[in-house]
Amino acid sequence: MTEHVKAEVVLQATNLQLTYDRPILRDINFCIRNIVRPGLSQGQVVSLVGRSGIGKTQLIKIVSGLQQPTAGRVTIYNNKPVKAGDMGVIFQNYYLFEWRTVYQSLMLAAKKNSKLFAMEKQIIEQYAEQFQLTGHLNLYPQQLSGGQRQRVSIIQQLLKGSDFILLDEPFSGLDVCMLDKAVALLQQVSLSDELKTLIIVSHDIETSVAISDTVYILGAEPGKAGATIKKEIDLIERDLAWVKDIRREKRFLETIEEIKREL
Ligand SMILES: Nc1ncnc2c1ncn2[C@@H]1O[C@H](COP(=O)(O)OP(=O)(O)OP(=O)(O)O)[C@@H](O)[C@H]1O
Ligand SMILES: [Mg+2]
C-alpha cells in the first residue's frame, strides 16, 4: 500500500436525511480525512456512484450547503457547519450567468481567489488555451455548445480556488480528447493543495474511480425507503489509488465489476 496517513477531518456528514413526498436519502454518514503522503501535497478525491434518480445530485446540494437536509448536518474542518459558497459546485446542467460573457464570468470567479491577485487575466487565458476556449471568451453562454459550457463551468469553479470542489457529471459532454484533458486537470487540482477535496459524481464509473482514493456507493437497501451509502471502498488499501494507467490493471476491472454489481 502506498505510504500515507489519514489525518484530520476535512468534511463530515452526520445522519443526513432528505424527505420530500417520500424518503430520498436516509442515514447518510461519511467522513473525509486529509490524506497525507510524504513529499507530496495530496488532496482527496471521492467518487460518488449510484443509479439515475437515486439521490446523488440532492446529496451534492446538501453537502455543499446549498440545500438543507430534513435532518442531520454537514461540517467542514473543526466542526464548522457548511454554508452556501464554501464549496465550488459544477452542476449537471452547467449553470452559467447568461448575461455575462465567458470572460466576465471567469474574471468574477478569479477575483474571489486572493491567490490569483494580479494574475487573473493570465490564468484565465491559460485555462482557455488548455480547454480550446480562446476564441470563445467574448461570447455569451447561449452562443456555446454543451461541451463548451461545461468546460467554462469547470474552469469557473477551479478559478475560485475553493478547497472543496463537487462535480456532478463532469465528463458527460466531453469528447475523448477533452475527457483526457479534464481528467489530467482534476488530477493536477487534487495535487495542487493538501486540503483540496474533490467529490465526483459520474455515470462514467471507470473514469471517476481511476482518479479517486475512495468510492461511495449510494443505493437502496431491501425493506428500507430512501438511499444510503451502501458501501465505501478504500482504493488506497486495494493499491488502486494514485497508480498510473490503473485502468488497464485486472484488479481495477474487478473493482469496477464489484461496484456495478452493487448499483
Ligand atoms: N424538489 C423535489 N421534490 C420532490 N422530489 C424531488 C425533488 N428534487 C428531486 N427529487 C427526487 O429525488 C430523487 C433523487 O434525485 P437526484 O436528482 O438527486 O438523482 P440523481 O442520483 O442525481 O440522478 P441522475 O443520475 O439521473 O442525475 C429523484 O427521484 C427525484 O425525483
Ligand atoms: Mg444527478
- In this structure, the dihedral spanned by the alpha carbons of residues 238, 243, 249 and 250, taken in order and rounded to 10 degrees, is 0
Sequence-ordered list of residues with C-beta below 8 angstroms from that of 231, at least 6 positions apart, any chain: 215, 216, 217, 262
Helix 120-130 and helix 146-160: axis angle, to 10°?
A: 140
Say what the pLDDT of residue 108 is: 96
For the Cβ of 24 lying below 6 angstroms from any atom of ligand 1, the answer is: yes
Looking at domain 5-87+162-262, which CATH architecture does it have? 3-Layer(aba) Sandwich (3.40)
Query: Which positions of the chain have pLDDT values less than 70?
Result: none
Q: Domain locations in the chain? A: 5-87+162-262, 89-161
pLDDT of residue 177: 87
32 lines ligand 1 (CB under 6 A): no
pLDDT number for residue 199? 97
Cβ(22) to ligand 1 under 6 A? no
Nearest Cα to Cα of residue 71 among 11, 26, 20, 12: 26
Give the model confidence (pLDDT) of 129-187 as tens digits.
Answer: 988 999 999 999 999 988 888 889 989 998 999 999 999 998 887 888 888 888 888 99
Model pTM above 0.75: yes
Secondary structure of 217-241 as H, E, C letters:
EEEECCCCCCEEEEEEEECCCCCCC
- What is the model's pLDDT at position 174? 81
What number of helices (H) and strands (E) belong to the chain?
Answer: 7, 10
- Residue closest by Cα to atom 30 of ligand 1: 53
Pocket test for ligand 1, best of 17, 25, 57, 199 (most atoms within 8 A of CB): 57
pLDDT of residue 198: 97
Residue 196's pLDDT is 94
User: Taking a C-beta distance cutoff of 8 angstroms, is the pair 196, 227 a contact?
Assistant: no
**169 CA: nearest ligand 1 atom:** 27
Single-letter amino acid code for the residue at 263: L
Q: Whose CA is nearest to atom 17 of ligand 1?
A: 57
Q: What is the pLDDT of residue 91?
A: 87
pLDDT of residue 130: 87
Q: Sign (positive/negative) of CA torsion 160, 161, 166, 171? A: positive
